[in-house]
Amino acid sequence: MCAKACTKLILIILNVVFVIVGIAVLAVGLFAKFDPNGLANLISKIPSDVVADRDVLDIPSLISSASLALIIGGAFFLIIGFLGCCGAWKEVSCFLIIYMLILVLLIIMEFAFVVVMFVAEDKVKGHLLKFLTETLHKGYVGGTGPTTTSKFALTKDATTLAWDMAQFSLECCGANDYKDYKDVKAWDHTLPYKNATGVYNGTKTVKLPYSCCKVKDTSVIPKQLDKLEFVDVAGCTEKATAGTFHDKGCYEAVKDKLTIYFEISACVGIGIALLEIFGLVCACILYNALKKNQGYEQQK
């Protein structure tokens, strides 16, 4: 009886954790799917003629599919958490059977997911440089900078906005490096600017956009752009002086981020699968204990 009670308690606690994890995963999936300022929505606004490789690697669809997988996974966790808690608390054998079957299915799916993640990592990285180079060369048009009404404002062009936000947040410049901007055809290499007295003074010819320049505080981007301060804006944009702009290319920056995300996802997936295996073992022990009790009652 003691072993049965302990197993029952462990199973209830474990499935409460599953419910909490399910709610968290579901929330993340819904946010990634419907966030209007998310990466998928920004990239999806890029004109199709800018990204010739979209048929080979459709990043918005990839992100959307990952979001949907999170939503389905979160819903599954809520279901198994409910079945596990009810089955253990009320000692309902049919709930425990359904619970164990779903766990077996999830464990198989999660190990398959880890394998697919590593395969997808190579595929994504293989097409990433081409995707970044094409969107930069064909779609970057500039425009981010001071305006007549504000100290600093982001452009409304979707491709340029995606690039500027990536370069600001990832602290990178260009696809390979800053030299890529020499070959950007859609941009006339001019930027809006204000003179030393703070008066809007039209445009000037430059080598690099503002988003390539090092800033003193990245936390003000994108909501407090009036507080944006550069280390040396003239040295960066006009002269491309070393130390004033981001040395790392965005391909390397994004690849490093993807590697971290893939490794974390794989570790989380394996960790959750091990928890589910533990839950499956506990459910089997409790189910066998219930069947023995039923056998004793029938003999009486």
Quick one: pLDDT at residue 75?
Answer: 87
CB neighbours of 183 closer than 8 A, spacing ≥ 6? 137
User: For 213-267, how does the pLDDT look when each residue is reduced to its tens digit (9 = 90+)?
Assistant: 999 888 888 778 778 889 998 899 998 899 999 999 999 998 888 788 777 777 8
Q: What is the phi/psi pair of residue 223, to 5°?
A: -90, -20
Closest by Cα among 112, 34, 123 to 73: 112
B/e letters for 59-69, b = 16+ CB within 10 Å, e = fewer, are bbeebbebbee
Cα torsion 210, 211, 216, 217: sign: positive
What is the model's pLDDT at position 54?
Answer: 45
pLDDT band at 95 (very low <50, low <70, confident <90, very high): confident
Contact between 144 and 155 under an 8 Å Cβ cutoff? The reply is: yes
pLDDT band at 290 (very low <50, low <70, confident <90, very high): confident
**What is the mean pLDDT of the segment spanning 146-165?**
82
Q: Is the peptide bond before 222 cis (omega within 30 degrees of 0)?
A: yes
Q: Positive or negative CA dihedral for 49, 50, 53, 55? A: negative
Q: pTM higher than 0.85 for the full model?
A: no
> What percent of the chain shows pLDDT beyond 90?
13
Residue 94 φ then ψ, to 5°:
-65, -35
Per the document, the length of the chain is 300
- Using DSSP, state whether 57 is helix, strand or coil: coil
| pLDDT score recorded for residue 248 | 93
Helices within 50-92 (DSSP H only):
59-90
Calpha distance 175→4 (Å, rounded): 60
Residue 156: burial class (beta carbons within 10 Å; 0-12, 13-18, 19+): exposed
Q: Computed from CA positions of residues 129, 135, 140, 144, in that sequence, does the dihedral angle turn out positive or negative?
A: negative
- pLDDT tens, 30-87? 877 776 555 555 555 444 544 444 444 455 566 677 778 888 888 888 888 888 888 8
